[in-house]
Amino acid sequence: MTRLWRDMRAILASLLLLPVLAGCDRLPVAGSGPQVGDYRPEEAGTVDHALCLLGFTGVPMRELASGHHIVDVTLNGRPGTFVLDTGANATVIHAGYETDFGLAEGGRVGGAVGLGGAMEARQVGIDDFAIGPVPVRLRRIMVTDLGQIATMLAPMAGGSVHGIVGQDAMKAHRAVIDVSRSLVHLIPEDRDPAPVPAERCRTDASE
C-alpha cells in the first residue's frame, strides 16, 4: 500500500467521524438502545400498506445515535448486523468476521466505495444472504477492512457491526427507504412493483 493511499485512508476515516460526533448530543440514555422501525402493512392509508399492495416487504432498521441505520441480516445461514449505506456500490463484510460467516479465503481482488471512501477489497462467493426475512439475490460479497467503522458503531449498536449493505443488494430488490420511520422496503421477487392480493397485507400475513 503506498504512502499516498495510507494518507487518503486516514483523511477519509477522519471525515467519517464527523457524522458520528455530530450525533453525540443526542446519544440515547443508558438502556434505551437504537430506535427500531415499526412496520404496519395492515393499516390502510399508510405508506407501509400502499407499498405492501405493490409487493414490497418492509424490514425494520435501527437508527443509531450517529444517524446511521443498521439491519439484521443472515449470511451463509448465520445472523449478523450490517449498516445500510446508499453510498456503497457493493455489499461488504469486515475482514475480521469472514471466518465467522464461513467465507473462503482468497478471491478476486477489486475495490469498493462506501462509508470510508474508496477501499481495497476482494470478492468471494456466498451461499445465501438475506435482509430481515427477504432473501437477497447476491452470490458474491466484498471482503475488506472495516475495522474503524465497526469499532465506532458497535457501542451504539449494542453489539458487533459486521458489514455494509450496498447498492447491489438494494437495486436488485427495488429498495425504498423510509429514513424517518427506520424502514427499508424490498421486493422479494425479481420483478417490477405490481399489485398483489390484499390478503398479503393483513396482520396475520405480515407476522
Taking only the tens place, the pLDDT of each residue in 12-22 is 343 333 343 33
pLDDT score of 124: 93
CA 149 → CA 17, 82, 114, 115, 163, distances in Å? Answer: 9, 11, 11, 8, 9
Q: Give me the CATH number covering residue 170.
A: 2.40.70.10
Instruction: Identify the CA nearest to 134 among candidates 58, 194, 200.
Output: 58
CA 28 → CA 35, 65, 66, 109, 157, distances in Å? Answer: 9, 7, 10, 40, 11
pLDDT in tens, 40-97: 999 999 999 999 999 999 999 999 999 999 999 999 999 999 999 999 999 999 999 9
- Please state the domain count of the chain: 1
pLDDT in tens, 93-150: 999 999 999 998 765 655 555 545 556 788 999 999 999 999 999 999 999 999 888 9
pTM for the full model?
0.78
What DSSP element (H or E) covers 169?
helix 167-172
Residue 196 belongs to domain spanning: 3-27+34-206
Determine contact, residues 92/163, Cβ cutoff 8 Å. yes
Instruction: Identify the CA nearest to 144 among candidates 168, 121, 115.
Output: 121
